[in-house]
Amino acid sequence: MKTTIFAAATAAAALIGSAAVSQDNPMVGGAPMMADMTIVENASQAPNLTTLVSAVQAAELVETLSGEGPFTVFAPTNAAFDMIADESLQTLLAPENQAALQQVLTCHVVGAEAFSTAIAGMIADDGGVHPIETVGGCTMEAYMEGGMIMLRDPNGRVATVTTADVDQSNGVVHVIDRVLLPAGYAG
């Protein structure tokens, strides 16, 4: 299930062939990210985000993340999901646990567009640590370490923004190297 590719990838692939890649937009997983495509369309193209895309589909959040936004999404890679025990991940992805999966995923979403320079500015303005309120009701702590934006979840898990400022038609994506969890979740 970790390698299931979201079905909309085929439709989005047709758009990539005709659209020009913004020189300023980074590639994700070797795939071009198009500033005129939605978060879901672009994520469906990135080979290192297939588990996230499958989870978004299982949580029935495709329509939401394809909506107008703006959103900031901290997108965990497949390797980030691989840090979760297979049994725990399969339990989370099970249909009967959809509400829990929705909460985990929406703890990676902010209801505003925030590029890295804005996040770094908020961190500096707040004396080195900035609280980030997510759509899922989680409060993440953003801080800088070695010139990189770091996020700490309520459980003390830390993710690094490995690819920042992936512009989307409905927001921005920052790729991260760890799945962040709501308070009380283990993983």
* Rounded CA separation 78/114 (Å): 23
pLDDT of residue 186: 63
Q: Where are the domains of the chain?
A: 9-113+167-176
pLDDT of residue 187: 56
The pLDDT score that the predictor gives to residue 52 is 97
Would you state the pLDDT for residue 9? 31
Task: Please state, in angstroms and as integers, the Cα–Cα distance from residue 39 to each residue in 114, 145, 147, following that order.
Answer: 14, 27, 26
Pick the CATH number of 9-113+167-176 from 2.30.180.10, 3.30.200.190, 3.40.50.12780, 3.40.50.300: 2.30.180.10
**pLDDT at residue 24, as a whole number:** 77
Report the pLDDT value the prediction gives residue 53, as an integer from 0 to 100.
Answer: 97
pLDDT value for 185: 74
Closest CA to 112 of 71, 51, 159: 71
Which DSSP string do the residues of the chain spell out, in sequence order?
-TTPPPTTHHHHHHHHHHSPPPTTSPPBTTB---TTS-HHHHHTT-GGGHHHHHHHHHTT-HHHHTSS--EEEEEE-HHHHHTS-HHHHHHHHSGGGHHHHHHHHHTTEESS---HHHHHHHHHHTTTEEEEE-TTS-EEEEEEETTEEEEE-TTS-EEEEEEEEEEETTEEEEEESS----TT---
Question: Mean pLDDT in each 10-residue stretch from start to end of the chain (187 residues)?
Answer: 31 33 76 95 96 96 95 98 92 93 96 97 97 96 97 96 97 97 78
pTM here is: 0.86
